[in-house]
Amino acid sequence: MQTDPNCIFCKIVAGQIPSFKLTEDAATLAFMDINPANEGHCLVIAKPHHPTLYDMPPELLAAVSVTALKVAKAVNAALKPDGLNLVQSNGPGAAQSVPHFHVHVLPRRLGDKLPLNWELKPGDRAAIAATAERIKAKL
Ligand code: 5GP
Ligand code: ZN
């Protein structure tokens, strides 16, 4: 499998750094974002290291989409947001901060005024862990 020893998401895939894991299969992994833009913000990544969409094998993109659908439904069932965005960013102009392909599953609340390029602010770890349990209960 393609991997990059300096990549934070490759380290999460390898279990070298911890994450609040939601679900995984052979090709994909879903876990909570530690800088949540909103409660329930999570990420679905491809396990192999591909920096951007342009590098992704189509069948791996399909596998990430299947997991994103599953996680989005669980987030919707667990948190009942007013809406939900799937966001996928490529390159500095799109504010991509981790060059390992991933999709944000981003619950939305009416009036949250979240911009497309939101600011990264650390979340409360205990609150993130508790939200992860609520989402996992719907997976
Ligand atoms: P991007 O800015 O590339 O679209 O999204 C990268 C996301 O990864 C950001 O939302 C950021 O909060 C998240 N992130 C960065 N480092 C870590 C980490 O070590 N653990 C987790 N769970 N999320 C991370
Ligand atoms: Zn990587």
Q: What is the pLDDT of residue 137?
A: 98
Q: Is the CB of 38 under 6 A from ligand 1?
A: no
Task: Give me the active site residues, please.
Answer: 102
111 Cα–ligand 1 center, Å? 24
- The number of the ligand 1 atom at minimal distance from the alpha carbon of 11 is 19
Q: What is the pLDDT of residue 14?
A: 97
Q: What is the 3-state secondary structure (H, E, C) of 72-131?
A: HHHHHHHHCCCEEEEECCCCHHHCCCCCCCEEEEEEECCCCCCCCCCCCCCCCHHHHHHH
Stretches in the chain below the pLDDT threshold 50: none
Q: What is the pLDDT of residue 40?
A: 98
Q: What is the pLDDT of residue 43?
A: 98
Q: Atom 12 of ligand 1 has which residue's CA nearest to it?
A: 35
Q: Is the CB of 31 under 6 A from ligand 1?
A: yes
Ligand 1 pocket check: which of 11, 97, 125 to mutate, most ligand atoms within 8 Å of Cβ? 97
- Output the pTM of the full model: 0.97
**What dotted CATH number matches 8-136?**
3.30.428.10
Ligand 1 pocket check: which of 17, 120, 121, 135 to mutate, most ligand atoms within 8 Å of Cβ? 120
Closest CA to 139 of 82, 86, 78: 78
